[in-house]
Amino acid sequence: MSQYKIEAGTAQHIGDRKEQQDRVALFAAPNAPGHMMAVVADGMGGKSGGAIAAEQVIRSAKMLFDEFFPGNDINAMLEAIVQEAHTVIKLSAVSSEKEPHSTFAALVISPQKAVWAHVGDSRLYRFSGPNFAERTKDHSYVERLVDEGMITPEEAKNHKMSNVLVNVLGSKNAIPYVSFGEKRDLVAGDSFLLCSDGLWHYFSDSELSVAVGASTPRQASELMIRKARERANSHGDNISFAIVKLSPQPIEQKTYVAEKMTRVI
């Protein structure tokens, strides 16, 4: 029996945009008990174009996860989702006369391990209890500048080219590449946050770890949206995220029946 139970939730806010172009979803695998997936897609491409792209990411993820069976290669499935969505987004650009693009971040929890993948600057954070453990590295121009030591991570957040991505789904010029990560030996207390830049832009790693680690997914969602909206100061982007927490299994309660004893005189 698993030593943890999965608690998960999603949240969105339109921010100060006219349209919500992010998409987020949670899926169970109908053919693989004990497996679940969380997906976040941040669409780009002008009015409605981004929503078209992000919606296609979610559709591709659900379709391929529905076909997943125990023993199948999780990394190969995540790679297939990216390539399937990328192809269809490119085709929709022709038919819709738009330029849709999308980021991608996905997490699969299985009985053996957690596997995640991302394209673009939608992130996955992993926490161990209340402590920050790691996060994905953005496929962006400013992340390259950080790696080269030309700017600091804080400077990257407000850099004039912070929205320039070097890897997206739907690009006419390049096939997207996928970055993977995994965590084996999952235990109660492990938790994950997948989010678009409309959320992570306003928080430090430690702030996110405290928010997720100390609260239920619902409580953490309400807190983070409220703080992100305050810090955006009426200039906020779409917000979308999913929280997945591994919580201790409830202790089985034993019921004792007290026998009524009758003393016979």
Residue with tokens 């957040």: 157
Alpha-carbon gap, residue 44 to 162, rounded angstroms: 14
Which pLDDT belongs to residue 258? 39
Question: Per the structure block, which two tokens stand in for 56?
Answer: 């296609």
Which residue blocks in the chain are alpha helix, DSSP H?
A: 49-66, 74-96, 141-147, 153-157, 197-200, 205-213, 217-232
Which pLDDT belongs to residue 259? 40
Which pLDDT belongs to residue 30? 97
Which pLDDT belongs to residue 154? 82
Which pLDDT belongs to residue 251? 66
Over residues 40-51, the pLDDT tens digits come to 999 997 666 899
Which pLDDT belongs to residue 92? 85
Alpha-carbon gap, residue 61 to 72, rounded angstroms: 15
**Torsions phi, psi for 155 (to 5 deg):** -65, -30
Coil, strand, or helix at residue 217?
helix
Which pLDDT belongs to residue 95? 65
Which pLDDT belongs to residue 252? 59
Q: Which residues of the chain have pLDDT under 50?
A: 1, 253-265
Domains in the chain, CATH or no CATH each: 4-248 (3.60.40.10)
Our measurement of the distance from residue 64's CA atom to the centroid of its chain's CA atoms, rounded to an integer in Å, reads 17
